[in-house]
Homo-oligomer: A and B are copies of this chain.
Amino acid sequence: MIKVPLSNIKVPRINVVRRKRMGLPGAIPGSFLIMENAVPSKIFVFSYKTDFLEETETESVEEAFAFTDKHPDCFHWVDVRGLGSQEVLNFIQQKFGISNLVMEDIVNIHQRPKNDEHNGYSFIVSRMLELDKGLQLNNEQLSFLLFDRLLISFQEDYKDVLDPVRLRLRKNTNGNIRKLGPSYLMYALMDTVIDHYFSIINRIGDEMEMVEDHLYQKPHKYLMYRIQGVKKLMIAMRRAAWPERDKINDLMRLNSPLVNEETRLYLRDAYDHTVQIIDLIESMREASTGLLDLYLSLMSNRMNEVMKTLTIISAVFIPLTFIAGVYGMNFAYENPKTGEILRGNMPELYIENAYVYVLVLMAIIALAQIWYFARKGWFKN
């Protein structure tokens, strides 16, 4: 039933999302500078309508946005991967008049999920969570600038997690994704992100079942580490899921002209999913607390067992050893001159078969104690 080896457990770190401001504390709020370790930007452009699709991959921002101008009757999706090219971001800021604060939030990749409506565009942040094999949580930022006919998305690196949506865009020539414009496209991307939450929850659920199976066999110290790991994952998941729900609720309720009526229906579905995720997270948090209780009570059980073993053996043999010690004393002595034995001292030694009597006495004492412990139920676990 148990297949996962316990070796090489890495307990996930509590993933504190730290705000790394450029320069000193007190740096000018409202200016933006790219992060030090950001990778150069690559730009993928999709111009599409029901019966048309043009894809471009470029590193030149001018080229990218030239394409978007070439097809005025199309919807456009500009997918910027890598936030390390200051000139790309500056170009976008100036072309679309994006606020400095928004640009800062795009490059400072530790924002909470949120939906900020601005003049002519919306700025939306999602968090992409992924578990790697060692149960470490990758927590990346996916931000969107949503315009009337254009969606610009920003990813931290070059990963292909959004590929399924890209595939649908290419193949599903007559589907909603081609028809319903950038707000639906953004919904589809966010839904992909949310789907990952479910798969993470499933993997954590498997981990918890594995831990529980092991616990019932032996409450190993490493299992405790794993429970702690699950708890930390839950804390991190929760910090992402709650504002994700609020954000989608916002998108759904506010009457932003950028989100069309059909998309709103789909957002309700996404909202239901985030509620379900939060539900599951809270349930699993409780269950992980239960695992901890289980571990501790099993430990206490084992301790009890160990102590009972010690007590039974000690209690049985210590009195017997005492009796043996008594008859090992040298009080009985005989005068070698006279051969006279001072029988007043330790007369038992001279009783015939006294040794056998003593052995029998010892057996009786031992059996009495064992009977006593058995009656108290110490031999049943």
Q: Which residues of A contact B (CB under 8 A)?
A: 11, 13-14, 16-19, 21, 24-30, 99, 101, 104-105, 110-112, 114, 116, 162-165, 167-168, 172, 175-177, 187-188, 191-192, 195-196, 198-199, 201-202, 205, 208-209, 212, 216, 218, 220-221, 224-225, 228, 231-232, 235-236, 239, 265-266, 268-270, 272-273, 275-276, 279-280, 283-284, 286-287, 290, 292-304, 306-311, 313-315, 317-322, 324-337, 339, 342, 344-346, 349-350, 352-355, 358-359, 377-378, 381
Contacts and interface: CB of A to CB of B under 8 A. Distances in A.
A218 B14 contact: no
Nearest to A291: B228
Contacts of A325: 320-321, 324-325, 328
A49 to B, nearest CB: 18
A17 to B, nearest CB: 7
Contact of A326 (B290, B297, B324): B324
A14 B353 contact: no
A268 B117 CA distance: 12
Contacts of A224: 294, 297-298, 301
B303 A311 contact: no
Nearest to A172: B28
Given A290-B231, A299-B297, A324 B318 contact: no
16 contacts: A13-B209, A24-B164, A28-B172, A110-B276, A112-B275, A231-B286, A299-B304, A304-B306, A317-B318, A317-B319, A317-B322, A324-B328, A328-B330, A329-B330, A332-B333, A344-B353
Contacts of A307: 303, 306-307, 310-311
Given A283-B235, A295-B297, A309-B315, A176 B30 contact: yes
Contacts of A286: 231, 235
A209 B365 CA distance: 40
B276 A17 contact: yes
